[in-house]
Amino acid sequence: MAVLLVLWDHFVGQATEWLKVAFYPAQFIKLKVFEPLAITQSGGFLGVCLFFLISGYIIAGVSAREDMRTFAIRRFLRIFPPLIVATVTSIAMRSWLASEPLTATAADILRNFFLVNYFHHPQVILVGVAWSLVIEVTFYLLVLVTLPLLHRQHLSIYLPFTLLVLSVLFVHFNAAFGPGFQAFAVSFLYIPILSIGVTFALLERGALSVRTFMIHGALAAGVFMYATWRIYPQFLQPADSYPVSALMATVIFGITWANRSRIRPIRALTLVAVTSYSLYLFHDVVGWTVLRTTYQSDPGAGFLSALTIAVAATTVAVVIVYNLVERPSRWLATRLTRNRVR
């Protein structure tokens, strides 16, 4: 569901605005669903919040069984091989289909491979959705250095609260950091959402009481409101609210978590979930480029025709990358760490 919301936002919500296209399904859902519920960015931010909740939940679960070396290797091979391929693909797509001159230097490309471009000014961004990976990697680093807490049941309770304290500090002093460090500081806006995902995992394994879970949830909401006010005050408007989308994502995740034993997998959605990382990266570097170029080259064919071609191109790219890059990377990570999991 999370990645599908992001795809709807980018392929339909943002695309129709950027291309100035009147597309009835987008207008209908915006007027009848998103605006009445104060869901911002055509559901895209709701999807991102779900991503972070799921990530916090999963990482808190797997990290309790992994040592520092295993955790680092598995997260590195999970994130960076597909990202590197996405960066190279983005360069090719921009140069070929979009007919855009490539202004990135070799150093810029190398920085994009490992997300260092967000800490270098002026920023050169070759994979537009990679901003969220900066937040993920920041979270991974925080978990890595606090891994001993997760290995001890009575100490693991301190991790989600530590994440909230760090969020307040980094967000509050964001302006004091140089421009190259602000991307790291801004990522702490989203850490409270990840910390809520962590508490669901801790509650599930009995490391957290319901009372402590509720206290953390209230504190996380307060920290997120404060961080939004400090960094993106425009998204505190009643009709365009980050907190509303974050709350809705938490409710959806909570209901799903509470009914996890009753939910039966749907094959099509399972395939989407398994390939969601490749889908997230390549709907941007392939899908959006194809959609924009196809529609602009022949507006008379209609937006739906361009959208269909973009979805097909994205699907082909995802199948190739998942099977040739993502799956082998996971296999290598398992191979390198197979005797180091509890």
In this predicted structure, the answer to whether residue 8 has a pLDDT above a threshold of 90 is no
Domain extent, residue 35, equals 2-337
Whose tokens are 């797509």? That residue is 93
More confident residue, 216 or 337: 216
Reduced to 3 states (helix: H, G, I; strand: E, B; else coil), residue 341 is: strand
In this predicted structure, the answer to whether residue 341 has a pLDDT above a threshold of 60 is no
Is 247 part of any domain? yes
Over the stretch 243-265, which tens digit does the pLDDT of each residue have? 888 999 999 999 999 988 887 77
Bridge partners for 236 per DSSP:
241
> How many C-beta atoms surround the C-beta of residue 154 within 10 A?
8
Is 278 part of any domain? yes
More confident residue, 131 or 267: 131
Report the candidate in 149, 142, 144, 150 with the shortest Cα–Cα distance to residue 167: 142
The Cβ-side half-sphere exposure at 44, using a 13 Å CA radius, reads 16
Reported confidence tier of residue 215, pLDDT bands at 50, 70, 90: very high
Over the stretch 202-212, which tens digit does the pLDDT of each residue have? 999 888 899 99
Segments of the chain assigned E as strands:
236-237, 240-241
Task: Please tell me the least confidently modeled range out of 68-72, 174-178, 220-224.
Answer: 174-178
> Mean of the per-residue pLDDT values for the chain?
85
Is 153 part of any domain? yes
> How many C-beta atoms surround the C-beta of residue 35 within 10 A?
13
Reported confidence tier of residue 178, pLDDT bands at 50, 70, 90: low
175-196: average pLDDT: 76
Phi, psi of 66 (to 5 degrees): -120, 145
Whose tokens are 């001159």? That residue is 101
In this predicted structure, the answer to whether residue 329 has a pLDDT above a threshold of 60 is yes
What's the structural domain count of the chain? Answer: 1
d(C-alpha 180, C-alpha 48), whole Å:
24
> What local confidence, expressed as pLDDT, does residue 181 receive?
65
In this predicted structure, the answer to whether residue 159 has a pLDDT above a threshold of 70 is yes
In this predicted structure, the answer to whether residue 109 has a pLDDT above a threshold of 70 is yes
Is 29 part of any domain? yes
Over the stretch 217-250, which tens digit does the pLDDT of each residue have? 999 999 999 988 888 888 887 767 888 889 999 9
Whose tokens are 């009643």? That residue is 238
> What local confidence, expressed as pLDDT, does residue 57 receive?
94
> What local confidence, expressed as pLDDT, does residue 5 receive?
85
> What local confidence, expressed as pLDDT, does residue 83 receive?
96
More confident residue, 308 or 268: 308
Is 91 part of any domain? yes
123-138: average pLDDT: 89
Is 143 part of any domain? yes
> What local confidence, expressed as pLDDT, does residue 101 receive?
64
Residue 192 · residue 52 · CB < 8 Å: no
Is 165 part of any domain? yes
Over the stretch 72-102, which tens digit does the pLDDT of each residue have? 999 999 999 999 999 999 998 887 765 566 7
Phi, psi of 98 (to 5 degrees): -80, -10
pTM for the complete prediction? 0.89
> What local confidence, expressed as pLDDT, does residue 232 receive?
83
Is 87 part of any domain? yes
What is the 3-state secondary structure of 264-280?
A: CCCHHHHHHHHCHHHHH
94-114: average pLDDT: 81
Over the stretch 16-46, which tens digit does the pLDDT of each residue have? 777 788 777 777 787 777 777 777 767 788 8
Whose tokens are 């070759």? That residue is 126
B/e letters for 94-120, b = 16+ CB within 10 Å, e = fewer, are beebeeeeeebeeebbebbbebebbbe
69-73: average pLDDT: 92
